[in-house]
A and B are shown apart, each in its own frame.
Chain A
Amino acid sequence: TQLLEQSPQFLSIQEGENLTVYCNSSSVFSSLQWYRQEPGEGPVLLVTVVTGGEVKKLKRLTFQFGDARKDSSLHITAAQPGDTGLYLCAGARAGKSTFGDGTTLTVKP
């Protein structure tokens, strides 16, 4: 069983603060995806990282894939209320994805 541990589970911060969400596993993944889900909607793909050590930026969001392709992080700079949602990481291996338990982020104005 490939486990993907995501932390923290819940995060409540003030607008303007920075935050980091982590996904860790003992398994090596061929790629890793980050999704954001708002209440009542399906998860929306934010980014896919493939290469060990890869860093991708999406406006105020920075995604990093670990050198060994076992872990990943999502860093948000100057969080805004619109960033509120459930963030999910998913590691893909042999065509199958393993999802983390999610991080519920609340950004207060």
Chain B
Amino acid sequence: GAVVSQHPSWVICKSGTSVKIECRSLDFQATTMFWYRQFPKQSLMLMATSNEGSKATYEQGVEKDKFLINHASLTLSTLTVTSAHPEDSSFYICSARDMVVGVSTQYFGPGTRLLVL
């Protein structure tokens, strides 16, 4: 199956700093990638849809100035958490959409655990 990587796998930072998370599709091109946030024992919460070459589409309640998304190439999307605060601590997961014979499938990265002190 298609492979999506995510880096870093975990990060600890001080409150007020910014953190960048990278999501790469390794063996396919993805015009669309997605960023999710997941709290313990809960399902995925879609934060935004990242579109290659254009602005990301944010879900209601997600601050676009705080969670900056850049999708500069067909294999890379980045999520930058700006001025991080302890409440931003969470598990962030990206996915990349692959279209094969008209069937859309999302493949997920392994996730990034963020801890803001």
The reply on A15 being an interface residue by CB < 8 A is no
Interface of A is mostly: strand
- Tell whether A95 pairs with B104 under 8 Å between CB atoms, given A41-B111, A42-B111: yes
| Chain B positions 66-101 with a Cβ under 8 Å from a chain A Cβ | 91, 93, 95, 97, 99
Size of the chain A interface, CB-CB below 8 angstroms:
24
- The chain B residue with its CB closest to the CB of A104 is B41
In the bound complex, what is the Cα–Cα distance between A17 and B41 (angstroms)? 23
**B106–A102 touching, CB < 8 Å:** no
The reply on A65 being an interface residue by CB < 8 A is no
- Tell whether A88 pairs with B99 under 8 Å between CB atoms, given A35-B108, A41-B111, A42-B111: no
Q: Please, what's the 1-or-0 string for A24-46, where 1 marks a CB less than 8 Å from any CB in chain B? A: 00000011010100001111110
The reply on B6 being an interface residue by CB < 8 A is yes
Measured between C-beta atoms, what is the minimum distance from B116 to chain A in Å?
18
Query: Which residues of chain A come closer than 8 Å to B105, judged between CB atoms?
Result: 31, 33, 45, 48, 92
- The chain B residue with its CB closest to the CB of A92 is B104
**A45–B1 touching, CB < 8 Å:** yes
The reply on A100 being an interface residue by CB < 8 A is yes
- The chain A residue with its CB closest to the CB of B94 is A42
Report the contact-size class of chain B (Cβ under 8 Å from the partner).
Answer: 20 to 34
- Tell whether A43 pairs with B44 under 8 Å between CB atoms, given A35-B108, A95-B32, A95-B97: yes
The reply on A74 being an interface residue by CB < 8 A is no
**B43–A99 touching, CB < 8 Å:** yes
The reply on A76 being an interface residue by CB < 8 A is no
**B106–A33 touching, CB < 8 Å:** yes
Measured between C-beta atoms, what is the minimum distance from A53 to chain B in Å?
17
**A45–B32 touching, CB < 8 Å:** no
B residues near A, CB below 8 A? 1, 4, 6, 32, 41-44, 46, 49, 91, 93, 95, 97, 99, 102-111, 113
A-B complex: 7 closest residue pairs judged by Cβ atoms = A42-B108, A102-B43, A92-B104, A101-B43, A42-B110, A42-B111, A43-B108
Please list 9 pairs of residues, one from A and one from B, whose beta carbons are closer than 8 Å in the complex, sorted by A's number.
Answer: A30-B102, A42-B109, A45-B106, A86-B43, A88-B44, A92-B105, A95-B32, A97-B97, A104-B41
